[in-house]
Structure 1
Amino acid sequence: MEHTLYEWFAASVAEFGDRPALEVGEERLTYRELHGLAERIAADLVAARRGVPARVGLLAGRDALTYAGYLAVQRLGAAVVPLSPSAPAARNAMIVRAAGLDLVLAGTTPSGPGTPSWPVPVVPLRRTAPPTARLRLPRRRVDDTDALAYVLFTSGSTGTPKGVPIRHGNVSPYLAHVIARYGLGPGCRVSQTFDLTFDLSVFDMFATWGSGATLVVPTRRDLMVPVRWVADRKLTHWFSVPSLVSFARRMRTLRPGRMPGLRWSLFCGEPLTLQQAGAWATAAPHSTLANLYGPTELTISCAEYTLPADPARWPRPANGTVPIGSVHPGLEHLVLDAGGRPAGEGELVVRGAQRFPGYLDADSDKGRFLSYDGPATNAAPYTGDGPLTDDHWYRTGDRVRREGGRLVHLGRLDQQIKLHGYRIELGEIEAALRDQPGVRDAVAVAVARPGDEIALEAVCTGTDLVAEAIRSGLEARLPAYMVPRVTSVVDELPLNANGKIDRQAVITALEGRRSAARRPVTPHG
């Protein structure tokens, strides 16, 4: 049976009301207490709207009110649209308009809610409501799994973020699978490392609250010492991007047996290397490690591979990454070559219960879906001429290969990258660069760094350019994770034989410059 997100939570309230639902710092709320706070905030929203809103933005940090606010929106049967407090006000305002929000529920105001750039009312998150907000709440919609649960905005190659709507009917079968798969239930203590603008946070919240477990939220300071935090908080389930493992390795905190209480360690958002997995496994010897994979459009994660307990039995793909394994139940997949024919290596396409219904802007659907009728035909791109149906396959844009019955992720087919779990279209950064005064052309690339990491760098051409001024312009337009670490100014960008910017030549030049800077100088004479 399918449920809405709030029904997953409400069932745990009914069964586990006095058990801990949420820990944020020193604050602890039981399921019953969190439910009461969410009901109160929901009444505040109804009072502000003078009715039930359809879509609500959530601009807040990592505190108990934020999570109660997320539940309050779900309680009303509305869709949550998370907004980042650290994003530029103009970007958040663009999302507010594109999503068609009725209200913004705000626990913080660093990006400027209430200013003329915000086109909808802003409702403050608060624990105590004014008397006018103490209204009778409408009955929950208990069977509307076709309704939207949330909308997330991902980086767009045209320079405009793309809205990805996810229905309750997409999330519910996913939760049913992962709650059983990872043994979640009362007594489990689950990390919440992801920002709410990142869809993996939905796993954190609702796989936890749908099972009667406890969601444990780290502070920013806690994430600087993740291994110590896991041990101190006695976590049983960990979920993060793999780059956090690399950070812990640099800090030399992944000592043997340091996290003895972990039962499951889950990683998603970017490739998990075998080196990262091995380092984490040493520190969490009783934990089962799983590599999850999936774009936002396929609802949180759509494939998984669990590493054997014995590292000697781990698969060793040539690219040094852990396989992404097999797709979840209720999903179908194909691997298609460049001609749209089934192959052992090519683009991964998926359809099934977790596939989203299509972008908020239907024009973005064109070319992102395929029709495929079987071996006698080639896959045909969706052009938008007819309706988008459940039979269409979503194109992930990821290149995979079948190895030993498992899928191995080989990289992207386009100019999209994953950095610390965030999906970034390099084209959006380049569009922002070209809009800076004096910039003629620009390219953004991902450059390899020591320790299995990548970094964003940019190179641009133009007249009278100052790198610091360009960076300031980008910071006013892009979220911090999309601002290149270094922006270099050159006379000309390298071109390939087809007259296009040679990205690989740019990457080679940047890496060569870094190697030269590290090379010791040999004295003469």
Structure 2
Amino acid sequence: MISSAYLRSHQAPAPRTLYDIFLQTATTFPEVAAIDDGTVITYHELSERVHAGAQQLHAAGVGPGSRIGVRMASGHSELYIAILSILAAGAAYVPVDADDPDERAELVFGEADIQGFYNDHGFHSLQEADPITAAVPALEDTAWIIFTSGSTGKPKGVAVSHRSAAAFVDAESQLFLQDAPLGPDDRVLAGLSVAFDASCEEMWLAWAHGACLVPAPRSLVRSGMDLGPWLIRRDITVVSTVPTLAGLWPTEALESVRLLILGGEACSTELVEKLSASEREVWNTYGPTEATVVACAALLSPHRPVSIGFPLAGWDLAVVDAQGAPVKNGEIGELVIGGVGLARYLDPQKDAEKYTAELGWSRAYRSGDHVKLTEEGLIFVGRVDDQVKIGGRRIELGEVDAHLAALPNVRQSTVVVQKTGAGDSVLVGYLSLTDETLEFDHHHARNVLSNAMPAALVPRLCVLAELPTTTSGKVDKRALPWPIHSDVTAVGLTDTERWLAKIWVDVLGMDVSDANADFFSLSGSSLAAATLIGRIRERVPTIAVRDLYDHPRLGALAQRVESIHAAPALQETPVQLVSARARAVQGLVQLAAVTLISLQWIACLLLINNIAASAGISWARHAPWPLVFVFLAFVTPVGRLLVGGYAARLLTHGIMPGSYPRAGRTHLRVWAAERIANVSGSRSIAGATWVNYYARILGARVGNGVNLHAIPPVTGLLTLEDNCSIEPEVDLSGYWVDAQHIHIGAIHVGKNARIGARSVLMPGAVIGNNAHVEAGSTVTGDKPVKANARWSGSPAHKVGRSKHRFPDTPPPRRPHWVLIYGASSLFLAALPLCAVGLGGAAMIAAVQSSGADPFLGLLSAAPAGTLIAFALYGLCIWILVRLLSLRLTPGVAPVRSATGWRVWFIQRLMDDARTYLFPLYAAQLTSLWFRSLGATVGKDVEISTSVMVPAFVDIRDGSFLADDTLIGGYELGGGWMLAGATKIGKRSFVGNSGIAGPLRKLAKNSLVAVLSSTPKKSKAGSNWWGSPPERMRRVTITTDASENSTYKPLLQLRILRGFIETLRLLAPITSGVLATIVLATLQIVLISLGIGAAILLGGVVLIVAGITALLITAGMKWLCVGRHRSGDHPLWSWFVWLNELQDTFVEVVAAPWFFNHTLGTGSLNIGLRVLGAKIGKGAWIETYWLPETDLCRIGAGATIGPGVVAQTHLFQDRVMSLDSLILQPGATLAAHSVALPASKLANGATIGPGSLVMRGDQVPAHTRWQGNPIEPWNPS
């Protein structure tokens, strides 16, 4: 309920116009002074001149409905005579300050569509019109149109009717000086610009009471000290002004003033104490232009809270929360205004947006101001958009400003949020001094402020002679100087420290006091860190972002900078573009590879035909069963492995370790072998019996008892000695590509050695016997990993001796498990085909029963058939995982055992599920999906495309698992497997491609960075990066997102998100329709031209289908999000949901039909350009993971390796932050690396494999870097 004290619309003054008020006063006080600008004009004289002015306007065709501009110098009576003449003629006046630039005057007058204007030379008509007879304004005619600043920079015109304006004048008459009302003996200062609506208060305080208006030149009002004698000399008794100007005036200047009205901006208690006097009323007023000058007011007195009081008679006020419901006493909310004073915008669309029906009122205005509701009146808190978040703390600028105003010797103050060189927000306090002869003590002021508020919120201080003001007298925040030139004044700094301190000041916008200043304690963010390092690299090119995290203090960083040796001369190399000849060769290989894929379609089609023909379906054609079996054998996983393996072996025969030209003969042979291997489906056999044989076919040397759970290299340059273990997703390719060369080398893994999941073994890597490379590491090959050593990190380095986590004795030999693993891999490959087959069977049955045209019938049934296949596959996954998880216990078991096989099989199922059930991931249902599979999942958990063994995972409330995270899993060693529980604490975050291995516990409110591992144990609130995980400084991101848009959404948001996520099913449906069209097209070719023609044309059909899939995806992308732009979006927002929808089309439609077959080719570049990426000529790109394509700029001849993610967004604290990513010409981002938003690789810069480029990192031209995070790299 709203208190009746705030509802006074029923007490509105009797309706009348401003002209009615003026005529009444002029009649009552004809010989009393009305205006005194040095020459006194009485009300009778003023009335005659106003009448004459109105007649002149009528003669020019000006009357009710007309708008007349006013741009005249202040301080003289002609200005006010012009305004009254316009009102008397029935027109509206449109004021512009005489000091405003011509451009603004033209803009305002143009927007208002004025019929003429007044300037210092009189009235000027802008259009010819017939004279009109005498007319007076009506109640609903517009009295004035005043333009206020707009958030877009374009001013907003606000029109106030005579009814509202007169009600305001009459309501104020009921407020002020009730014991001794205003009258002919009062003299009112006219010191405000008439372009400011508070000037209306000045004028009508005089003209409604028979008082005299005394104009003052604006320059005099602003001067402060000079105004005092003038006010005394002119006998001013009434002043209406803004606190900023009042603060400039000496107290003796107000000795004769008995009514002082403040408004327009927040008023401090210190100012009240300064201005109060026993014989003077000091009022604090509040009101936006949109509600006619003043909506509420409070009589102020010293030593009491500064209030804006209660509404004027005729106005209604309410304080509401974010949902629009009235708040309780003592609570803060947004002020909503209703009643007789509501104005209107000239822009109808803006008017409908801002003036709405709320709280049962027919019309209400949301002020955008926060106030506190109390029984003693409203307390102004600040603008809604002035409530900022710095260092993770929400703060009102008015609160900080109050502390500044309380500093000794401060006359004026204001606080604004400025952007640093790093793009971070920083508070800056601007001050002017009461006594400029006294030096301002910055150090003391900072100490005082530090005792009053958190250190991170203490603003940087800037002392000015005067704070700039707008025409309304308010502080002009846009005119405040920024950036502030600052000399580092701290004593005792070395030259290097002083040089660094100057950069710190530029980047952070914070003063640096001494060598112990800590970058992150001064609110340094990850983006600021990268910006700082980028600046330092101008002198020290090889410094890394890690150096700042390791040496955050100014003195320590200076020592680190001094210890870095001068970088060698950089060798610039010309940008090499992929030649047209190479592209032509690639085109032929693409056609061959896609034709090979089409054989799988033809084989399935032959099988469908034979089964359908046996069922008597008319359109089916029977093929000889031996031919069908030959085709099926050729396209089964085993058959494809044999064909793909031997084809790759033939293509790479004779290739030796070395460096070869990029896109040259050798490189194209390796690339072609990779494409053939991709077609062979080798991914599905990782960890199974077949993979060891496949590796040997490729030329690798594989010993006995090897557990190979990764894909062997097509070059065959791999040696795996007895009983070594390679965990899932290890990169064994043995080559990498930069802008100039492909670097090829052999890999050797010794006996009983262990290679952790998602590690990268670069060319030349040698792993000694019994050595252990931990998960997520990158072994460069520059140094061998010695026997019994444990290496970790990127680049990997020795961290100790190999741990004995597995039994020393070999596991028992169980040959039957070899067959079980082999059969399981075939089952995994067949499972999605079976689901699709059952969906297709349902389609065929439905068409047959309906008697419809076969093609049209199948096409119309394709959506339902696709959904059936999708549901059947999901059901199979669910049943298998649940069954295999029964009584599954963590611990160590032989790989070839029931436990080992079940863990491996479950993880393979879950890995495949995120591909075939992609629409189900990164959705509200994902948590429910994993919970139903056996995982412990808390409330409000967000899970993207994670891989895990559900039974071993515990994810607590509010946690977030980003894309491609590996949670739990298993470790291998000597024929044994370790599987254990993994726990993710409450509200913790695991970044993209992060790893939380078995037996890991991540404490609550912790963060694991992109491409990083989780420690075994962690403290609450800790951050980790790299592998092995290193503690990272906790940097809280700054965001204005509320809990309702991040962690605690409203029900309506959940429903809306669920609706958008349901639309993701359109992606598999689209893919299903395309598959139906492809099969139908091949069927027509098969029937019309025979099997030979189908084989020859199959590749062409798939290429056309791929282009169609790309165009459909592009259409969805532009429909959902248009062009991606830098910015922040909370999780529970339309942008995030629609972005995920378009990404589903990328992964489910464009990837399988187009991108997967075009990696490394010009076709991929074209496809990415269609989606919005800017890609230069001759770039070599082997990934389509550019999530926000419009934000990616890839220069000519640049190289992006396989498995790379151009990570243009981050999702910390459930806010999606987007920024651009740039690779300039000739730059390289090598295999399995990730570049974060706002990063930039300059010309010819090289990032080696398995690396992380931090957010905002600027990599210098022609330098080489590698690591997680990157550091200088000089490969041997």
Q: How does the TM-score come out when normalised to structure 1? A: 0.69
Counterpart-to-counterpart distance in 2, 1:349 and 1:294: 11
Amino acid at match of 1:230: L
1:150-206: CA deviation from partner (whole Å, max 9, x where unpaired) = 111111112211110000111112111212322222211111121000001111112
Q: Is the alpha carbon distance of 1:52 and 1:163 closer, same or farther for their aligned partners in structure 2, counting shifts above 3 Å?
A: closer
Q: Indicate the residue corresponding to 2:271 in structure 1.
A: 276
Q: 1:253-332 residue pairs with structure 2 within 5 A? A: 253-255=250-252, 259-281=254-276, 284-308=277-301, 311=302, 314-316=303-305, 322-332=306-316
Q: 1:345 aligns with which of 292, 307, 332?
A: 332
Counterpart-to-counterpart distance in 1, 2:424 and 2:163: 40
Q: Indicate the residue corresponding to 2:126 in structure 1.
A: 121
Q: Indicate the residue corresponding to 1:158 in structure 2.
A: 152
Q: Indicate the residue corresponding to 1:173 in structure 2.
A: 167
Secondary structure at the aligned position of 1:153 is classed as: strand
Q: Is the alpha carbon distance of 1:241 and 1:404 closer, same or farther for their aligned partners in structure 2, counting shifts above 3 Å?
A: same
CA deviation after TM superposition for structure 1 residue 485, in Å: 2.8
Counterpart-to-counterpart distance in 1, 2:35 and 2:204: 12
2:192, 2:218 within 8 Å by CA — same for their partners in 1?
no
CA deviation after TM superposition for structure 1 residue 305, in Å: 0.7
User: How many corresponding residue pairs?
Assistant: 408
Q: Is the alpha carbon distance of 1:271 and 1:483 closer, same or farther for their aligned partners in structure 2, counting shifts above 3 Å?
A: closer
Indicate the structure with greater strand content.
1
Q: Indicate the residue corresponding to 1:58 in structure 2.
A: 70
Q: 2:429 aligns with which of 442, 448, 452?
A: 448
Counterpart-to-counterpart distance in 1, 2:357 and 2:326: 13
Counterpart-to-counterpart distance in 2, 1:22 and 1:298: 28
1:76, 1:138 within 8 Å by CA — same for their partners in 2?
no
Q: 1:35 aligns with which of 47, 51, 60?
A: 47
RMSD of equivalent CA atoms: 3.7
1:109-165: CA deviation from partner (whole Å, max 9, x where unpaired) = 9xxx99xxxxx7299xxxxxxxxxxx99843426x1111101111111122111100
Counterpart-to-counterpart distance in 1, 2:106 and 2:22: 30
Counterpart-to-counterpart distance in 2, 1:445 and 1:270: 22
Q: 1:207-218 residue pairs with structure 2 within 5 A? A: 207-218=205-216
CA deviation after TM superposition for structure 1 residue 51, in Å: 7.0
Counterpart-to-counterpart distance in 2, 1:275 and 1:405: 20
- 1:399 paired with 2:404, answer no
Indicate the structure with greater helix content.
2
Q: How does the TM-score come out when normalised to structure 2? A: 0.30
Amino acid at match of 2:273: G
CA deviation after TM superposition for structure 1 residue 373, in Å: 4.3
Counterpart-to-counterpart distance in 2, 1:164 and 1:444: 32
Counterpart-to-counterpart distance in 2, 1:103 and 1:486: 38
Secondary structure at the aligned position of 1:414 is classed as: helix
In structure 2, runs of 5+ residues without a counterpart are 1-13, 388-396, 402-415, 435-469, 485-505, 509-526, 529-1036, 1042-1125, 1129-1276
- 1:102 paired with 2:115, answer yes
- 1:235 paired with 2:230, answer no
CA deviation after TM superposition for structure 1 residue 280, in Å: 1.3
Secondary structure at the aligned position of 1:262 is classed as: coil
- 1:488 paired with 2:483, answer yes
2:65, 2:142 within 8 Å by CA — same for their partners in 1?
no
2:422, 2:507 within 8 Å by CA — same for their partners in 1?
no
Secondary structure at the aligned position of 1:290 is classed as: strand
Secondary structure at the aligned position of 1:450 is classed as: strand
Amino acid at match of 1:368: K
CA deviation after TM superposition for structure 1 residue 260, in Å: 3.5
- 1:364 paired with 2:356, answer no
1:221-270: CA deviation from partner (whole Å, max 9, x where unpaired) = 5422233222222222111101122212xxxx325xx6443221111111
Counterpart-to-counterpart distance in 2, 1:31 and 1:148: 24
Secondary structure at the aligned position of 2:203 is classed as: helix
Counterpart-to-counterpart distance in 2, 1:272 and 1:34: 36
Secondary structure at the aligned position of 2:385 is classed as: coil
Q: 1:355 aligns with which of 342, 345, 363?
A: 342
Secondary structure at the aligned position of 1:201 is classed as: helix
1:264-316: CA deviation from partner (whole Å, max 9, x where unpaired) = 111111111111111112xx4410111011000111111111024xx3xx423
CA deviation after TM superposition for structure 1 residue 36, in Å: 1.9
Q: Is the alpha carbon distance of 1:442 and 1:82 closer, same or farther for their aligned partners in structure 2, counting shifts above 3 Å?
A: farther
2:62, 2:89 within 8 Å by CA — same for their partners in 1?
no
Secondary structure at the aligned position of 1:95 is classed as: helix
Q: Is the alpha carbon distance of 1:32 and 1:408 closer, same or farther for their aligned partners in structure 2, counting shifts above 3 Å?
A: same
Q: 1:334 aligns with which of 306, 318, 323?
A: 318
Q: Indicate the residue corresponding to 1:187 in structure 2.
A: 185
Counterpart-to-counterpart distance in 2, 1:9 and 1:176: 12
In structure 1, runs of 5+ residues without a counterpart are 115-119, 124-134, 317-321, 375-389, 420-425, 431-439, 454-474, 502-525
Q: 2:195 aligns with which of 191, 194, 197?
A: 197
Q: 1:3 aligns with which of 8, 11, 16?
A: 16
Secondary structure at the aligned position of 1:350 is classed as: strand
Counterpart-to-counterpart distance in 2, 1:238 and 1:55: 29
1:95, 1:153 within 8 Å by CA — same for their partners in 2?
yes
Q: Is the alpha carbon distance of 1:139 and 1:108 closer, same or farther for their aligned partners in structure 2, counting shifts above 3 Å?
A: closer
Secondary structure at the aligned position of 1:205 is classed as: helix
Amino acid at match of 1:37: R
1:53-89: CA deviation from partner (whole Å, max 9, x where unpaired) = 7110111112211110001100100011101222222
Q: 1:77-96 residue pairs with structure 2 within 5 A? A: 77-96=90-109
Q: Indicate the residue corresponding to 2:1068 in structure 1.
A: none
Counterpart-to-counterpart distance in 2, 1:445 and 1:202: 37
